[in-house]
Amino acid sequence: MRHNTDPEMKYLPSPPCNCEICRSFCQRPGWWTIKQVYQAIEAGYARRMMLEMSPDYTYGVLAPAFRGCEGKFATNFFAKRGCTFFTNGNCEIHSTGFMPLECVFCHHTRTGQGEKCHADISKQWNTPAGQTLVVLWSNLSGLMGEINYENLRRLRKSVK
């Protein structure tokens, strides 16, 4: 039997929960998969993303931004402001289909599994497809100019 390497198939959604632990997960933006980022960009969320760099700076990950860090590199200066989508104790993209996989999966009953999910999403970004998307977002946004959706569609077709 083959192990499924697609994080979206491996890490299924958790049951809804509003406990203090689960709500605390909403402070730090979870990570999208590459597929989810394409969908989020096409839905108009590119301006609310940030680019997080790996600890060794060899690759980047596009994620919901820290408030104040939209369209920029992620920096610790903005980290305490929380996720751009978490407003007044609620997630703006909850139940929209655009929640990052990491957010959908994490739950207080899944102790230690969040790190595994994060690591698997990280591996997906540390690929030519992941880095191509980072370059595309950087070019489309100009770290944050106008988004060129036609270029996005062309590139997405070529990566599939």
**Residue 2: inside a domain:** no
> How confident is the model at residue 157, as a pLDDT?
64
> How confident is the model at residue 113, as a pLDDT?
80
> How confident is the model at residue 125, as a pLDDT?
96
Range of the domain at 39: 7-159
**Residue 107: inside a domain:** yes
> How confident is the model at residue 42, as a pLDDT?
92
C-beta of residue 101 within 8 angstroms of C-beta of residue 31: yes
> How confident is the model at residue 3, as a pLDDT?
53
Residues of the chain where predicted confidence (pLDDT) is lower than 50: 1-2, 144
**Residue 1: inside a domain:** no
pTM, full prediction: 0.81
CA separation for the pair 159, 128 (Å, rounded):
10
> Count of domains in the chain?
1
> How confident is the model at residue 123, as a pLDDT?
94
CA separation for the pair 88, 110 (Å, rounded):
26
